[in-house]
Structure 1
């Protein structure tokens, strides 16, 4: 019979990966819920399970690290009951919430032991080492090529929150890979960052949050608001009605619009 993991704190056996420095905290409950949906985590829970092979611990989400060329990727920052912090990929934390995760981890213990023994007794061949070096070279070339493409024609987006003006183009459905369902979003056009030298962005999108729904928006509405913009292409919805499909590429996302005014 497979062993089960005790629901206890086991800080002595936990390996922590604390954030490297400052990380993003949540502006409010709505910001927190929006990120949980984006990561595919339950919005009704205040705490989650962090599971290892021999134990599991309750944790809360304190914030997240943003990385990538335009901060489009996230690493969740967790806090344990003893106050320690660690970072984890959203998809991995989601897997930990599944009951089957425990069984999979228990069966991996013996498998890892066998693999470790095999590595000790079977040294890598010369051919395998050469193949590994070739893969590294190809990966580096691909990375440089991608970096070069990203820099060409890229807008210099501000890092902090800025003031925007924009017009509502339409409502659309966007596929969320984490929770495997469509999310409702607002597509904006004529998006301009209002600063000393106004920056024309063009098309952008944002989640149709509870805050935005209070304004009962309609296509053609002109808005001004504060927010943070990142380069994140709008994923198209699946099996959506025609009126909720956006045909054009929308390359930028606006996070957590606030101080919203509708003309």
Structure 2
């Protein structure tokens, strides 16, 4: 179905949700392409931002990170008039469809408020009695088969220097574009600083920059990058050689100054 919404550039017609403060920007073109694909979008310079009565051209200016593991993103968009707004990656992807129809933001806010109200009312619990607390404590030793947790590591927020070894190539499921993405699994990952931090296993996207190095398992690497806690999801319907054998809890973002040996 063809687009029927008019293209307008009227700031008064748009409701903005600007970033709350500092946000991440792209280091280079390769970083931009990597993040856009991670969000399930086609790589291009301009996208459509659609309201109920109109649509506008926007560009991706950067992104915010949130969540305990800093693995979730909100995209920061820039309109042609310079205004900024934030949007969830999946929502921006929906807006690119010719048949997209957007509900009024005011209606959405009412629904969200009602959900919060119902949740707050439904989750009111009476204080547990001393007897019930004792019962819970007695039951705890009976629990078995707890999942192994990754050791707690204080991760730096800025770019740092790494050494690592290529362990294997693997495929991970990307729920945004509903397809597998190729990644590189690294082992013996160490943050090289005055007091080195042993990370162990980590993963990163097999970007164009990395593909130029023609990596093979066993290659030693040095690079600068950021690191976040983000578990590597397994791919769907993949060959045995691309299956991830061990749990990988950390992701390397935007590696640069790469050296292979």
Closer/same/farther in 2, CA of residues 226 and 152 from structure 1, 3 Å limit? closer
Q: Could you tell me how far 1:132 is from its partner in structure 2?
A: 4.0
SS at 1:100's partner residue?
coil
Gaps of 5+ in 2: 127-146
Matches within 5 A, 1:146-225: 153-225=151-223
User: CA RMSD for the aligned pairs?
Assistant: 2.6
TM-score, structure 2 length as denominator? 0.82
Verify the 8 A CA contact 2:150 2:249 in the aligned structure 1: no
8 Å Cα contact 1:168/1:189 also seen in 2: yes
2:81 is the counterpart of 1:93: no
Q: Decide which moves more: 68-77 or 184-193.
A: 68-77
Change over 3 Å in CA distance of 1:249–1:12 after alignment to 2: same
- The alignment covers a number of residue pairs equal to 232
2:116 is the alignment partner of 1:83: no
**Equivalent residue number for residue 6 of structure 2:** 6
Cα distance in 2 for residues equivalent to 1:56 and 1:130: 34
Q: Deviations over 1:105-159 (max 9, x none)?
A: 3xx56xx5xxx8xx9xxxx9xxxx7764233779xxxxxxxxxx9x994210010
Q: What residue number does 2:25 align with?
A: 25
What SS class does the counterpart of residue 34 from structure 1 fall into?
helix
Which residue matches 2:39?
Answer: 39
The answer to whether the Cα contact below 8 Å between 1:10 and 1:55 also exists between their aligned partners in 2 is no
Which TM-score applies when normalising by structure 1? 0.82
- Paired residues for 1:80-159 under 5 Å: 80-102=79-101, 105=102, 108=103, 132-135=120-123, 153-159=151-157
**Change in 2 beyond 3 A, CA 1:136/1:247:** farther
Equivalent in the alignment of 2:59: 60
Q: Distance in 1 between matches of 2:92 and 2:124?
A: 29
Between Structure 1 and Structure 2, the one with more helix by share is 1
Segments of structure 1 that go 5 or more residues without pairing to the other structure are 139-148
